Structure 1
Amino acid sequence: MEYRVNVCETVPQAVLRMPREVRQGRLGEDVAEGMRDLMATVQRAGLTSIGAPSLTFLEEGPAHETTVVDFRVPVEPAPMLSLRSGAEVVVCAGDLVARTSHRGGYGGLPDAYRALREWMTESGYRASGPPSEVYLVGPDEVTEPRRLITELRIPVLPPPAIGVYVRQRFAETLERVRETLRQRGFSALGEIDMHAVSRRADVEQYLILCLYHPALASRAIASDPPAGLLLPCTVVVRATDGGTRVEAGDPMLYARATGQEALQPIAGEIHRLLTAALDAVRADAGRERPKSHGTAAKGPAEEYAADGP
Protein backbone atom coordinates (compact mmCIF):
# COMPACT_ATOMS: atom_id res chain seq x y z
CA MET A 1 0.00 0.00 0.00
CA GLU A 2 1.26 3.50 -0.83
CA TYR A 3 0.95 6.02 1.99
CA ARG A 4 0.65 9.74 1.29
CA VAL A 5 2.05 11.94 4.03
CA ASN A 6 1.50 15.63 4.77
CA VAL A 7 2.03 18.07 7.61
CA CYS A 8 -0.78 20.05 9.24
CA GLU A 9 -1.42 22.04 12.41
CA THR A 10 -4.02 20.70 14.83
CA VAL A 11 -6.34 23.12 16.63
CA PRO A 12 -6.58 23.52 20.43
CA GLN A 13 -9.47 21.50 21.84
CA ALA A 14 -10.91 20.06 25.04
CA VAL A 15 -10.64 16.27 25.16
CA LEU A 16 -11.76 13.56 27.54
CA ARG A 17 -8.58 11.71 28.49
CA MET A 18 -8.69 8.16 29.86
CA PRO A 19 -5.36 6.33 30.44
CA ARG A 20 -5.25 2.53 30.40
CA GLU A 21 -3.09 -0.39 29.31
CA VAL A 22 -3.34 -2.22 25.99
CA ARG A 23 -1.61 -5.41 24.90
CA GLN A 24 0.60 -5.13 21.85
CA GLY A 25 -0.35 -8.61 20.70
CA ARG A 26 -4.11 -7.97 21.06
CA LEU A 27 -4.28 -4.34 20.05
CA GLY A 28 -7.52 -4.61 18.08
CA GLU A 29 -9.47 -6.16 20.97
CA ASP A 30 -8.09 -3.76 23.57
CA VAL A 31 -8.71 -0.70 21.38
CA ALA A 32 -12.32 -1.75 20.78
CA GLU A 33 -12.86 -2.28 24.52
CA GLY A 34 -11.18 1.03 25.34
CA MET A 35 -13.37 2.87 22.84
CA ARG A 36 -16.51 1.38 24.37
CA ASP A 37 -15.43 2.45 27.87
CA LEU A 38 -14.45 5.90 26.60
CA MET A 39 -17.82 6.55 24.97
CA ALA A 40 -19.67 5.11 27.98
CA THR A 41 -17.79 7.60 30.18
CA VAL A 42 -18.80 10.41 27.82
CA GLN A 43 -22.45 9.49 28.29
CA ARG A 44 -22.26 9.04 32.07
CA ALA A 45 -20.58 12.43 32.48
CA GLY A 46 -23.14 14.21 30.33
CA LEU A 47 -20.48 15.20 27.81
CA THR A 48 -20.98 15.69 24.08
CA SER A 49 -18.33 14.19 21.80
CA ILE A 50 -17.47 16.47 18.87
CA GLY A 51 -14.83 14.49 16.97
CA ALA A 52 -13.24 11.12 16.27
CA PRO A 53 -11.70 9.21 19.21
CA SER A 54 -7.94 8.71 19.32
CA LEU A 55 -5.19 6.87 21.15
CA THR A 56 -1.81 8.31 22.16
CA PHE A 57 1.08 6.02 23.08
CA LEU A 58 2.62 7.25 26.35
CA GLU A 59 5.29 4.57 26.29
CA GLU A 60 6.48 1.81 23.96
CA GLY A 61 7.29 -1.74 24.95
CA PRO A 62 8.02 -5.16 23.42
CA ALA A 63 5.31 -6.73 21.27
CA HIS A 64 4.44 -9.33 23.92
CA GLU A 65 3.96 -6.78 26.74
CA THR A 66 1.37 -4.19 27.67
CA THR A 67 1.86 -0.47 27.12
CA VAL A 68 0.18 2.58 28.64
CA VAL A 69 -1.91 4.71 26.28
CA ASP A 70 -4.32 7.62 26.50
CA PHE A 71 -7.75 7.11 24.94
CA ARG A 72 -9.08 10.54 23.96
CA VAL A 73 -12.13 12.08 22.33
CA PRO A 74 -12.87 15.79 21.69
CA VAL A 75 -15.76 16.98 23.89
CA GLU A 76 -17.73 19.99 25.00
CA PRO A 77 -16.87 20.38 28.73
CA ALA A 78 -19.49 19.48 31.36
CA PRO A 79 -19.37 19.22 35.21
CA MET A 80 -20.65 15.67 35.81
CA LEU A 81 -17.40 13.66 35.44
CA SER A 82 -16.82 11.27 38.36
CA LEU A 83 -13.33 10.94 39.86
CA ARG A 84 -13.86 7.17 40.04
CA SER A 85 -13.94 6.96 36.25
CA GLY A 86 -10.19 7.59 36.07
CA ALA A 87 -10.84 10.02 33.23
CA GLU A 88 -10.42 13.79 33.04
CA VAL A 89 -11.19 16.61 30.65
CA VAL A 90 -8.06 18.49 29.55
CA VAL A 91 -7.38 21.21 26.99
CA CYS A 92 -4.81 20.15 24.38
CA ALA A 93 -2.86 22.88 22.62
CA GLY A 94 -2.56 22.90 18.84
CA ASP A 95 0.44 21.08 17.41
CA LEU A 96 2.30 20.58 14.14
CA VAL A 97 1.94 16.93 13.09
CA ALA A 98 2.99 14.68 10.22
CA ARG A 99 0.13 12.37 9.32
CA THR A 100 -0.96 9.56 7.03
CA SER A 101 -4.02 7.29 6.82
CA HIS A 102 -4.25 3.50 6.90
CA ARG A 103 -7.21 1.52 5.59
CA GLY A 104 -7.62 -1.99 6.92
CA GLY A 105 -6.82 -4.07 9.98
CA TYR A 106 -4.35 -3.08 12.66
CA GLY A 107 -1.90 -5.73 11.49
CA GLY A 108 -0.94 -3.33 8.70
CA LEU A 109 -0.22 -0.36 10.99
CA PRO A 110 3.55 -1.10 11.27
CA ASP A 111 3.87 -0.55 7.50
CA ALA A 112 2.03 2.76 7.80
CA TYR A 113 4.25 3.91 10.67
CA ARG A 114 7.33 2.84 8.71
CA ALA A 115 6.24 4.89 5.68
CA LEU A 116 5.46 7.89 7.90
CA ARG A 117 8.85 7.77 9.63
CA GLU A 118 10.69 7.25 6.33
CA TRP A 119 8.99 10.35 4.95
CA MET A 120 9.98 12.32 8.05
CA THR A 121 13.60 11.16 7.72
CA GLU A 122 13.81 11.98 4.02
CA SER A 123 12.09 15.36 4.53
CA GLY A 124 14.11 16.19 7.64
CA TYR A 125 11.28 16.52 10.17
CA ARG A 126 12.02 15.42 13.74
CA ALA A 127 9.48 13.92 16.13
CA SER A 128 8.64 16.14 19.10
CA GLY A 129 6.24 13.83 20.94
CA PRO A 130 4.62 10.37 21.05
CA PRO A 131 2.55 9.05 18.13
CA SER A 132 -1.25 9.09 18.12
CA GLU A 133 -3.88 7.14 16.22
CA VAL A 134 -7.18 8.80 15.31
CA TYR A 135 -9.91 6.24 14.64
CA LEU A 136 -11.89 7.83 11.81
CA VAL A 137 -13.69 4.51 11.43
CA GLY A 138 -12.97 2.44 14.54
CA PRO A 139 -13.62 -1.09 15.80
CA ASP A 140 -16.64 0.17 17.74
CA GLU A 141 -18.31 1.07 14.42
CA VAL A 142 -17.52 -1.81 12.03
CA THR A 143 -16.76 -5.51 12.40
CA GLU A 144 -14.81 -6.07 9.16
CA PRO A 145 -11.13 -5.08 9.55
CA ARG A 146 -10.89 -3.97 5.90
CA ARG A 147 -13.36 -1.15 6.63
CA LEU A 148 -11.28 0.39 9.42
CA ILE A 149 -9.71 3.81 8.73
CA THR A 150 -6.96 5.01 11.06
CA GLU A 151 -5.06 8.29 10.83
CA LEU A 152 -1.54 8.13 12.25
CA ARG A 153 -0.05 11.34 13.65
CA ILE A 154 3.42 12.18 14.93
CA PRO A 155 4.10 15.66 16.37
CA VAL A 156 7.04 17.31 14.58
CA LEU A 157 9.27 20.33 15.11
CA PRO A 158 8.83 23.31 12.77
CA PRO A 159 11.71 23.34 10.26
CA PRO A 160 14.25 26.20 10.15
CA ALA A 161 15.95 25.21 6.88
CA ILE A 162 15.36 23.99 3.32
CA GLY A 163 16.64 20.61 2.24
CA VAL A 164 16.35 17.34 0.38
CA TYR A 165 17.66 13.81 0.77
CA VAL A 166 18.69 11.86 -2.35
CA ARG A 167 19.82 8.28 -2.78
CA GLN A 168 22.83 9.30 -4.82
CA ARG A 169 26.57 9.37 -4.21
CA PHE A 170 28.09 12.43 -2.59
CA ALA A 171 30.35 13.44 -5.51
CA GLU A 172 27.55 13.26 -8.09
CA THR A 173 25.17 15.21 -5.85
CA LEU A 174 27.75 17.91 -5.09
CA GLU A 175 28.42 18.47 -8.80
CA ARG A 176 24.70 18.80 -9.49
CA VAL A 177 24.18 21.18 -6.53
CA ARG A 178 26.91 23.51 -7.80
CA GLU A 179 25.44 23.51 -11.32
CA THR A 180 21.81 24.11 -10.31
CA LEU A 181 22.76 26.97 -7.99
CA ARG A 182 24.91 28.57 -10.70
CA GLN A 183 22.02 28.32 -13.17
CA ARG A 184 19.84 30.29 -10.75
CA GLY A 185 22.26 33.17 -10.35
CA PHE A 186 24.18 32.20 -7.21
CA SER A 187 27.93 32.85 -7.00
CA ALA A 188 30.38 31.01 -4.76
CA LEU A 189 32.27 32.87 -2.04
CA GLY A 190 34.10 29.79 -0.83
CA GLU A 191 33.90 26.16 0.27
CA ILE A 192 34.86 24.34 3.47
CA ASP A 193 35.63 20.62 3.25
CA MET A 194 34.93 19.39 6.79
CA HIS A 195 36.10 15.87 5.91
CA ALA A 196 39.54 17.22 5.00
CA VAL A 197 39.68 19.80 7.81
CA SER A 198 38.83 17.32 10.58
CA ARG A 199 41.37 14.72 9.38
CA ARG A 200 39.30 12.03 11.08
CA ALA A 201 38.32 8.78 9.38
CA ASP A 202 34.94 8.69 11.14
CA VAL A 203 33.81 12.02 9.63
CA GLU A 204 31.64 11.50 6.54
CA GLN A 205 32.05 13.57 3.38
CA TYR A 206 30.77 17.00 4.39
CA LEU A 207 31.11 20.20 2.35
CA ILE A 208 29.90 23.71 3.27
CA LEU A 209 29.21 26.06 0.35
CA CYS A 210 29.19 29.83 1.01
CA LEU A 211 27.12 31.60 -1.66
CA TYR A 212 25.39 34.85 -2.49
CA HIS A 213 23.10 36.16 -5.23
CA PRO A 214 24.66 39.36 -6.68
CA ALA A 215 21.47 40.91 -8.09
CA LEU A 216 19.36 40.27 -4.99
CA ALA A 217 22.23 41.26 -2.70
CA SER A 218 22.38 44.69 -4.35
CA ARG A 219 18.64 45.18 -3.88
CA ALA A 220 18.82 44.13 -0.23
CA ILE A 221 21.67 46.51 0.63
CA ALA A 222 19.86 49.36 -1.11
CA SER A 223 16.86 48.70 1.14
CA ASP A 224 18.84 48.22 4.35
CA PRO A 225 22.66 48.62 4.41
CA PRO A 226 23.18 46.33 7.48
CA ALA A 227 21.45 43.55 5.49
CA GLY A 228 24.88 42.62 4.14
CA LEU A 229 25.43 40.65 7.35
CA LEU A 230 22.54 38.36 6.41
CA LEU A 231 23.08 37.99 2.67
CA PRO A 232 25.53 35.06 2.38
CA CYS A 233 23.71 31.74 1.90
CA THR A 234 25.08 28.59 3.49
CA VAL A 235 24.44 25.27 1.74
CA VAL A 236 25.63 22.00 3.29
CA VAL A 237 26.13 18.81 1.26
CA ARG A 238 26.81 15.74 3.39
CA ALA A 239 26.88 11.98 2.95
CA THR A 240 24.40 10.14 5.21
CA ASP A 241 22.11 7.11 5.41
CA GLY A 242 23.23 5.52 2.15
CA GLY A 243 22.75 8.73 0.19
CA THR A 244 23.36 12.47 0.39
CA ARG A 245 21.56 15.25 2.23
CA VAL A 246 21.55 18.82 0.93
CA GLU A 247 20.59 21.60 3.35
CA ALA A 248 20.30 25.38 2.99
CA GLY A 249 19.64 28.00 5.65
CA ASP A 250 16.21 29.59 5.17
CA PRO A 251 16.67 33.31 4.37
CA MET A 252 13.08 34.00 5.45
CA LEU A 253 14.02 33.31 9.08
CA TYR A 254 16.89 35.78 8.94
CA ALA A 255 14.72 38.42 7.28
CA ARG A 256 12.05 38.09 9.99
CA ALA A 257 14.74 38.44 12.67
CA THR A 258 15.65 41.93 11.38
CA GLY A 259 12.06 43.17 11.43
CA GLN A 260 12.68 44.97 8.12
CA GLU A 261 9.60 44.61 5.93
CA ALA A 262 11.55 45.69 2.82
CA LEU A 263 13.74 42.58 3.07
CA GLN A 264 10.83 40.12 3.10
CA PRO A 265 10.26 40.03 -0.71
CA ILE A 266 14.00 39.66 -1.37
CA ALA A 267 14.33 36.86 1.17
CA GLY A 268 11.26 35.24 -0.35
CA GLU A 269 12.86 35.30 -3.80
CA ILE A 270 16.10 33.75 -2.48
CA HIS A 271 14.00 31.11 -0.70
CA ARG A 272 12.19 30.33 -3.97
CA LEU A 273 15.46 30.01 -5.91
CA LEU A 274 17.05 27.74 -3.29
CA THR A 275 13.94 25.55 -3.17
CA ALA A 276 13.85 25.28 -6.97
CA ALA A 277 17.54 24.33 -7.06
CA LEU A 278 17.13 21.60 -4.46
CA ASP A 279 13.98 20.31 -6.19
CA ALA A 280 16.03 19.99 -9.39
CA VAL A 281 18.72 18.03 -7.54
CA ARG A 282 16.11 15.60 -6.19
CA ALA A 283 14.38 15.26 -9.57
CA ASP A 284 17.67 14.45 -11.32
CA ALA A 285 18.56 11.84 -8.71
CA GLY A 286 15.10 10.28 -9.05
CA ARG A 287 15.46 9.90 -12.82
CA GLU A 288 18.66 7.93 -12.39
CA ARG A 289 17.09 5.09 -10.39
CA PRO A 290 13.83 3.11 -10.66
CA LYS A 291 10.97 4.20 -8.44
CA SER A 292 10.26 1.99 -5.44
CA HIS A 293 6.76 0.89 -4.49
CA GLY A 294 4.97 0.95 -1.16
CA THR A 295 6.85 3.93 0.24
CA ALA A 296 5.74 7.34 1.34
CA ALA A 297 4.97 9.85 -1.37
CA LYS A 298 7.57 12.61 -1.68
CA GLY A 299 6.71 16.26 -2.21
CA PRO A 300 8.85 19.19 -3.30
CA ALA A 301 11.86 20.39 -1.37
CA GLU A 302 10.76 20.38 2.25
CA GLU A 303 11.71 22.86 4.95
CA TYR A 304 13.26 20.93 7.78
CA ALA A 305 15.55 20.82 10.77
CA ALA A 306 19.19 21.04 9.77
CA ASP A 307 20.28 18.88 12.69
CA GLY A 308 18.26 15.84 11.56
CA PRO A 309 19.81 12.41 10.87
Structure 2
Amino acid sequence: MTYAITITVPLAWDEALRRTKEALAEQGFGILSEIDVRATFTAKLGQDDGDELGDLVILGACNPGLASRALRAEPDLGLLLPCNVVVRRGPDADATVIQAIAPQTMVQLTGNPAVAEVADDAEARLTRALRSLEATSA
Protein backbone atom coordinates (compact mmCIF):
# COMPACT_ATOMS: atom_id res chain seq x y z
CA MET A 1 0.00 0.00 0.00
CA THR A 2 1.24 3.45 -0.86
CA TYR A 3 0.96 6.12 1.80
CA ALA A 4 0.77 9.14 -0.51
CA ILE A 5 -1.40 10.57 -3.25
CA THR A 6 1.08 12.35 -5.53
CA ILE A 7 0.84 14.60 -8.55
CA THR A 8 3.34 16.73 -10.42
CA VAL A 9 2.20 19.95 -12.06
CA PRO A 10 3.98 22.42 -14.35
CA LEU A 11 3.08 25.35 -12.09
CA ALA A 12 5.34 27.97 -10.58
CA TRP A 13 5.93 27.50 -6.87
CA ASP A 14 3.72 30.35 -5.58
CA GLU A 15 0.88 29.47 -7.94
CA ALA A 16 1.02 25.77 -7.02
CA LEU A 17 0.85 26.58 -3.30
CA ARG A 18 -2.04 29.03 -3.75
CA ARG A 19 -4.02 26.72 -6.00
CA THR A 20 -3.45 23.74 -3.68
CA LYS A 21 -5.02 25.67 -0.81
CA GLU A 22 -7.95 26.65 -3.03
CA ALA A 23 -8.48 23.08 -4.26
CA LEU A 24 -8.47 21.79 -0.69
CA ALA A 25 -10.99 24.45 0.35
CA GLU A 26 -13.28 23.39 -2.49
CA GLN A 27 -13.32 19.90 -0.96
CA GLY A 28 -14.11 21.19 2.54
CA PHE A 29 -10.58 21.27 3.98
CA GLY A 30 -9.28 24.19 5.98
CA ILE A 31 -5.60 24.78 6.66
CA LEU A 32 -4.87 24.51 10.39
CA SER A 33 -1.11 24.86 10.04
CA GLU A 34 1.45 25.83 7.45
CA ILE A 35 5.07 24.89 7.95
CA ASP A 36 7.64 26.45 5.64
CA VAL A 37 10.37 23.82 5.87
CA ARG A 38 12.78 25.76 3.67
CA ALA A 39 12.53 28.83 5.92
CA THR A 40 13.06 26.64 8.99
CA PHE A 41 16.12 24.94 7.48
CA THR A 42 17.52 28.32 6.46
CA ALA A 43 16.97 29.80 9.92
CA LYS A 44 18.26 26.78 11.87
CA LEU A 45 20.84 25.23 9.54
CA GLY A 46 21.90 28.06 7.25
CA GLN A 47 21.16 29.40 3.79
CA ASP A 48 22.97 26.56 1.99
CA ASP A 49 20.72 23.91 3.58
CA GLY A 50 17.59 25.91 2.72
CA ASP A 51 18.75 26.41 -0.86
CA GLU A 52 19.65 22.74 -1.25
CA LEU A 53 16.20 21.67 -0.07
CA GLY A 54 14.30 24.05 -2.32
CA ASP A 55 10.74 25.07 -1.61
CA LEU A 56 8.76 22.79 0.70
CA VAL A 57 5.63 23.64 2.67
CA ILE A 58 3.62 21.22 4.79
CA LEU A 59 -0.05 22.15 5.02
CA GLY A 60 -2.05 20.73 7.91
CA ALA A 61 -5.39 20.21 6.15
CA CYS A 62 -8.54 19.39 8.09
CA ASN A 63 -12.13 18.71 7.12
CA PRO A 64 -13.93 19.18 10.45
CA GLY A 65 -16.82 16.83 9.60
CA LEU A 66 -14.48 14.02 8.62
CA ALA A 67 -12.18 14.65 11.57
CA SER A 68 -15.12 14.51 13.97
CA ARG A 69 -16.33 11.20 12.52
CA ALA A 70 -12.83 9.74 12.62
CA LEU A 71 -12.19 10.79 16.21
CA ARG A 72 -15.53 9.35 17.36
CA ALA A 73 -14.59 6.04 15.76
CA GLU A 74 -11.00 6.06 17.01
CA PRO A 75 -9.97 8.77 19.50
CA ASP A 76 -6.28 7.97 19.05
CA LEU A 77 -6.50 9.20 15.44
CA GLY A 78 -5.79 12.65 16.83
CA LEU A 79 -2.16 11.54 16.56
CA LEU A 80 -2.53 11.43 12.78
CA LEU A 81 -4.50 14.65 12.27
CA PRO A 82 -4.53 16.99 10.49
CA CYS A 83 -3.92 15.41 7.10
CA ASN A 84 -0.57 16.52 5.78
CA VAL A 85 -0.40 17.94 2.29
CA VAL A 86 3.09 18.75 0.98
CA VAL A 87 3.89 21.18 -1.80
CA ARG A 88 7.54 20.93 -2.86
CA ARG A 89 9.82 22.02 -5.63
CA GLY A 90 13.52 21.20 -5.79
CA PRO A 91 16.03 23.96 -6.50
CA ASP A 92 16.47 23.01 -10.17
CA ALA A 93 13.00 21.56 -10.80
CA ASP A 94 10.73 22.75 -13.59
CA ALA A 95 7.59 21.33 -11.97
CA THR A 96 6.03 21.25 -8.51
CA VAL A 97 5.14 18.06 -6.65
CA ILE A 98 2.01 18.01 -4.50
CA GLN A 99 1.38 15.12 -2.13
CA ALA A 100 -1.29 14.23 0.40
CA ILE A 101 -1.19 11.49 2.98
CA ALA A 102 -3.36 8.60 1.82
CA PRO A 103 -6.09 8.36 4.46
CA GLN A 104 -6.18 4.57 4.05
CA THR A 105 -2.94 4.68 6.04
CA MET A 106 -5.11 5.40 9.10
CA VAL A 107 -7.12 2.26 8.44
CA GLN A 108 -3.95 0.20 8.15
CA LEU A 109 -2.49 1.63 11.35
CA THR A 110 -5.60 1.32 13.48
CA GLY A 111 -7.13 -1.86 12.13
CA ASN A 112 -10.49 -0.26 12.98
CA PRO A 113 -13.10 -0.96 10.28
CA ALA A 114 -15.18 2.03 11.46
CA VAL A 115 -12.38 4.27 10.26
CA ALA A 116 -12.52 2.82 6.72
CA GLU A 117 -15.66 4.74 5.68
CA VAL A 118 -14.21 8.05 6.85
CA ALA A 119 -10.90 7.28 5.16
CA ASP A 120 -12.68 6.46 1.90
CA ASP A 121 -14.45 9.83 1.98
CA ALA A 122 -11.30 11.73 2.90
CA GLU A 123 -9.27 9.98 0.22
CA ALA A 124 -11.89 10.73 -2.44
CA ARG A 125 -11.89 14.42 -1.47
CA LEU A 126 -8.11 14.72 -1.38
CA THR A 127 -7.80 12.91 -4.70
CA ARG A 128 -10.40 15.22 -6.29
CA ALA A 129 -8.53 18.26 -4.98
CA LEU A 130 -5.21 17.11 -6.42
CA ARG A 131 -6.68 15.89 -9.70
CA SER A 132 -8.35 19.29 -10.16
CA LEU A 133 -4.90 20.86 -10.01
CA GLU A 134 -3.68 18.49 -12.73
CA ALA A 135 -6.68 19.27 -14.93
CA THR A 136 -6.36 23.04 -14.63
CA SER A 137 -2.59 23.17 -15.09
CA ALA A 138 -2.31 21.00 -18.19
RMSD: 1.3
The alpha-carbon deviation at position 231 of structure 1 amounts to 3.0
For 2:80 and 2:107, the matched residues in 1 are separated by: 8
Q: Higher helix share goes to which structure?
A: 2
Cα deviation per residue 1:31-59 (whole Å; 9 max; x = unaligned)?
A: xxxxxxxxxxxxxxxxxxxxxxxxxxxxx
Question: In the alignment, does 2:113 pair up with 1:244?
Answer: no
- Look up the SS of the partner of 2:7 in the other structure: strand
For 2:86 and 2:15, the matched residues in 1 are separated by: 14
Cα deviation per residue 1:238-295 (whole Å; 9 max; x = unaligned)?
A: 1143110001111101222101000001011101101000000111111xxxxxxxxx
- Look up the SS of the partner of 2:72 in the other structure: helix
Relative to the length of structure 1, the TM-score reads: 0.40
Percent of pairs identical after alignment? Answer: 36
For 1:230 and 1:255, the matched residues in 2 are separated by: 11
Q: For residue 284 of structure 1, what is the aligned residue in structure 2?
A: 136
Q: For residue 296 of structure 1, what is the aligned residue in structure 2?
A: none
Q: For residue 212 of structure 1, what is the aligned residue in structure 2?
A: 62
Tell me if structure 1 keeps the 8 A contact 2:34–2:58. yes
Tell me if structure 2 keeps the 8 A contact 1:187–1:213. yes
For 1:194 and 1:259, the matched residues in 2 are separated by: 32
For 2:33 and 2:72, the matched residues in 1 are separated by: 24
Using CA pairs under 8 Å that are at least 6 residues apart, name the structure with larger relative contact order, 1 or 2: 2
For 1:225 and 1:206, the matched residues in 2 are separated by: 30
- Look up the SS of the partner of 1:202 in the other structure: helix
Q: For residue 188 of structure 1, what is the aligned residue in structure 2?
A: 31
For 1:267 and 1:182, the matched residues in 2 are separated by: 18
For 1:237 and 1:219, the matched residues in 2 are separated by: 27
For 2:100 and 2:56, the matched residues in 1 are separated by: 13
- Look up the SS of the partner of 2:96 in the other structure: strand
| Aligned counterpart for 1:266 among listed residues 118, 125, 129 | 118
Q: For residue 9 of structure 2, what is the aligned residue in structure 1?
A: 166
Query: After superposition, where does 1:77-226 map in structure 2 within 5 Å?
Result: 159-199=2-42, 200=47, 201-226=51-76
Tell me if structure 2 keeps the 8 A contact 1:193–1:208. yes
Cα deviation per residue 1:67-97 (whole Å; 9 max; x = unaligned)?
A: xxxxxxxxxxxxxxxxxxxxxxxxxxxxxxx
The alpha-carbon deviation at position 202 of structure 1 amounts to 2.4
For 2:4 and 2:119, the matched residues in 1 are separated by: 13
The alpha-carbon deviation at position 230 of structure 1 amounts to 2.4
For 1:224 and 1:245, the matched residues in 2 are separated by: 31
Tell me if structure 1 keeps the 8 A contact 2:77–2:106. no
The alpha-carbon deviation at position 165 of structure 1 amounts to 0.3
Which structure has the larger Rg?
1
Q: For residue 256 of structure 1, what is the aligned residue in structure 2?
A: 108
| Runs of 5+ consecutive residues of structure 1 not aligned to the other structure | 1-157, 287-309
Tell me if structure 2 keeps the 8 A contact 1:256–1:264. no
Q: How many residues align?
A: 129
The alpha-carbon deviation at position 192 of structure 1 amounts to 0.8
For 2:73 and 2:106, the matched residues in 1 are separated by: 15
Cα deviation per residue 1:134-161 (whole Å; 9 max; x = unaligned)?
A: xxxxxxxxxxxxxxxxxxxxxxxx5321
